Amino acid sequence: MKSLIEKLNGPWHKPALQVFMVIVLAHWAEHLVQAYQVYALKWPMHDARGVLGQAFPWLVHSEVLHYSYAVIMLAGIWAFLPGFVGRARTWWLAALVIQFWHHIEHFLLIWQATFHHNFWGRPAPCSVLQLVFPRVELHLFYNAVVFVPMVIGMYYHMFPPETEQGKMACTCEWGHKPSMQAA
């Protein structure tokens, strides 16, 4: 019997990655709406809470939520890595490394929020790169530098160079013949 990780990187790779991408894009949409509220609508930072955050303000102000998302991202990228081969794997691995650091930043934030002790004498929890960049912009940047290698990795996974074609255990490759896939 195949383990969960084997299934996730074999027959389930494609549907699981599709679900994962929907979550990633929904999260992106929230960040972009928030940036729009801040820059175009000139809303005060505290009120710029994306879409879900308008109905549930505690969501956006919850470090638990931000940290949970960072962990889900890290776990997802890690869990789907074995299914990637060659060039696609290199890009997916880059996303994993960057997300690992992004997750550390969120860990520092949730630690400060939990123990009510903000680093560097800041009035609010503050991560390392936040010493240099403001939080909204910084996390747009983080989401982008994780997302871009994921998309490139996904592209090479679906459209592998000739030498890597047919080497994957999953059905993600474009033009994959279902008959070849014995689950």
List contacts with Zn ion (CB under 5 A).
Answer: 13, 83, 170, 172
Question: Which of 77, 78, 52, 55 lies closest to 66 in space, CA to CA?
Answer: 52
CB nearer Zn ion, residue 24 or residue 172: 172
CB nearer Zn ion, residue 13 or residue 139: 13
CB 130 to Zn ion: min, Å: 35
CB nearer Zn ion, residue 67 or residue 91: 91
For 6, 32, 36, 146, 179, the CA distances from 140, given in Å and listed in that order, are 33, 8, 12, 10, 42
Using CA atoms, how far apart are residues 20 and 121, in angstroms rounded to an integer? Answer: 37
CB 165 to Zn ion: min, Å: 13
CB 26 to Zn ion: min, Å: 21
CB nearer Zn ion, residue 40 or residue 183: 183
Task: Look at the chain and count its residues.
Answer: 183
Could you give the residue ranges of the DSSP H alpha helices within 42-119?
52-55, 57-60, 63-80, 86-115
CB 15 to Zn ion: min, Å: 10
